[in-house]
């Protein structure tokens, strides 16, 4: 695999055959992040890698979220960003150790199941406040 385009699904077997560092480098090259960029840009590329891995591993909830979001009109790249936002929120939650009684994976999968284009756009507006 020579390059990455988030608007086109990579071949799952080919993607998963890559080392994580190679996956990261492909995503970083697409986003123009080569070299010592800011930590948030590094995180952005890593989130792409995690979501692509979930899709390539055919995690049903992730596949369903992607199909739902693209079916609602988001491009694949924006759908990956929407899914990544859910992932980041749950990573923050892990750091705070939520006392809900549900495991962090359960909460993440629940939020992915309910993710829509409208809820993602709402979250984007909330983040700008």
pLDDT in tens, 95-123: 666 555 667 777 788 889 999 999 998 88
pLDDT of residue 124: 81
CA angle (86 as vertex; 9, 17 as ends), nearest 5: 35
List Cβ neighbours of 44 (8 Å cut-off, separation of 6 or more): 31, 33, 84
* 54-81 average pLDDT score: 96
pLDDT at 128: 45
pLDDT at res. 83: 96
Our measurement of the distance from residue 3's CA atom to the centroid of its chain's CA atoms, rounded to an integer in Å, reads 18
The string of pLDDT tens digits covering residues 18-39 is 999 999 999 988 887 655 555 6
Q: pLDDT at position 98, please?
A: 54
pLDDT attached to residue 65: 97
Angle subtended by helix axes 104-114 and 60-71, to nearest 10? 30
The residue to which tokens 């980041």 are assigned: 88
- Torsion angles phi and psi, residue 115, rounded to 5: -70, 125
What is the structure's pLDDT at 108? 82
Residue 100 CA to residue 41 CA, distance in Å, equals: 31
């Amino acid at each position: 695999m020579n390059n990455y385009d988030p608007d086109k699904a990579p071949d799952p077997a080919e993607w998963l055959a890559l080392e994580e560092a190679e996956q990261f480098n492909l995503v970083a090259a697409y986003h123009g992040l080569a070299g010592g960029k800011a930590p948030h840009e590094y995180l952005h590329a890593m989130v792409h890698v995690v979501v692509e891995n979930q899709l390539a591993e055919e995690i049903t909830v992730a596949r369903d979220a992607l199909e739902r979001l693209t079916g609602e009109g988001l491009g694949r790249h924006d759908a990956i960003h929407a899914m990544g936002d859910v992932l980041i929120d749950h990573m923050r939650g892990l750091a705070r150790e939520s006392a809900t009684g549900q495991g962090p994976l359960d909460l993440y999968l629940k939020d992915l199941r309910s993710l829509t284009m409208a809820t993602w756009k709402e979250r984007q507006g909330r983040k700008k406040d």
